[in-house]
Chain A
């Protein structure tokens, strides 16, 4: 036997025909249906159940049988029943088959709405005492207090968000110091590698690799959280910004023999440090995801209202289906051992560019290279 048959046999589940519940006399009389619900609650309680849940299919309303004009009054009274008894009721309406004006009123009568599979508190719900020809000033007062409540909720969430961000910043900042010390001391230990033997040397290598990874992770989290602060607005030579990014990347450029060509770039009002971060990430990625010797070109096209900066590479490119995801936080497209990284860099870039009221996007062909576009307003 299926569980529902079990339930039906034991009396826990009852299936009733809508015509019996709502239209037993051919006309909808709210008080009859309400009386039936009250009886149901009473008998369930007498049988030892802790409460009643109902799901009512309201399709019968579509045909507009006599008495259906009382449906909204009925819904109000059901709400009172909900408040007074251990009773949960769900009314099912088909949005596409009911009149919009009617559905609007139905929505106003239900405190909670289920849309598809999402349950949401209904901000348009009006408690019964406000509906109908109630006192207008009381209704207005209620609306104003609703606005105040949602504003307070919003402020509370913003505050919580700020706290979380500063906690992330503090945590990654405080982690930096011990990680730095571990890496430095492992460097010193590596100088004594001869005395460690073959196995000891291997353990040391593994420890250094992990410490490096940890250090990079902490740095990128710190980078990402620093990108959360309001950007400063200073007049900055973009060429100087790109040079600063290249200095930071000197090691990777040397190692890969990358050729980076930088066209003359304009002056821009922006947060210097944050924009350095953007170019460090973009150029760093162009080196990391290379095909042979990386060739990277930084160029800019300025129009009346914006500077469009491009970072073009001849690297491995990004498959079309991955393009929408590349700017997501912690999105890594490759296995960790194929390319190092944490999936934070491009998310940080997007955050920074958007906080400058700009836009960042990428065009790419797999196997040919990628071009990242950064549009900053003038």
Chain B
């Protein structure tokens, strides 16, 4: 089976680094692409869609509270684009506001995950997410 590709957008570089490490521990073949804001994340996906040569990532992870284009806006844009709307979206955030959870799930996010405080928990989340898209369990 080909390597799974994950796109992760978060304005906190430490989060990106830790998440990449966690995915790498579960499956070293995972292709992990990090972007530090919503605009470049969306541009990356749109470019892929335009080229039609490469498949879109298997999973798109992003935070809600980000400067510039926030996660809610990013989610709306992705779900409104017929070329992108089938990519499973996972919200990975510190926000435990019920409104954020409900709103993102209604718009079409597949999962809503609170950022953990333990590295082992982050590894468990990565394992769970990879399993959900048919990767290493």
Contact = CB atoms under 8 A, between A and B. Distances in A.
A184 B117 contact: yes
Contacts, number: 31
B94 A184 contact: no
Nearest to B15: A181
A188 B119 contact: yes
Contact of B14 (A176, A181, A273): A181
B118 interface: yes
B76 to A, nearest CB: 24
Contact of A179 (B21, B96, B117, B118): B117
A232 interface: yes
A180 B120 contact: no
Interface in A157-210: 173, 176-177, 179-181, 183-185, 187-188
Interface in B89-121: 94, 96, 98, 115-120
A180 B18 CA distance: 11
Nearest to A181: B14
Contacts of B122: 184
Residue of B116, B117, B118 ringed by the most chain A CB atoms within 10 A: B117
A177 B119 contact: no
Contact of A177 (B94, B96, B98, B120): B94
Contacts of A176: 94
A184 B12 contact: no
User: A interface, how many residues as a size bin?
Assistant: 10 to 19
Contacts of B98: 232, 272-273
A234 to B, nearest CB: 9
Contacts of B120: 187
Interface residues of B, number: 14
A183 B122 CA distance: 12
Contacts of B94: 173, 176-177, 180
A215 interface: yes
Contacts of A184: 14, 18, 117-119, 122
A181 B17 CA distance: 11
Contacts of A215: 117
A180 B122 CA distance: 12
Contacts of A272: 98
B111 to A, nearest CB: 15
Interface string B11-26: 0101000100100000
A188 B118 CA distance: 9
A187 B118 contact: yes
Contacts of A226: 96
A180 B119 contact: no
B119 A187 contact: yes
Contacts of A183: 117-118
A206 to B, nearest CB: 18
8 contacts: A173-B94, A183-B117, A184-B18, A184-B117, A188-B21, A188-B119, A226-B96, A273-B96
Counting from the closest, the 7 A-B pairs by CB-CB distance are A187-B119, A180-B117, A183-B117, A184-B119, A273-B98, A181-B14, A215-B117
Interface of B: 12, 14, 18, 21, 94, 96, 98, 115-120, 122
Given A177-B94, A180-B115, A188-B18, 19 more contacts: A173-B94, A176-B94, A177-B12, A179-B117, A180-B94, A180-B116, A181-B14, A183-B117, A184-B14, A184-B18, A184-B118, A184-B119, A185-B14, A187-B119, A188-B21, A188-B119, A226-B96, A272-B98, A273-B98
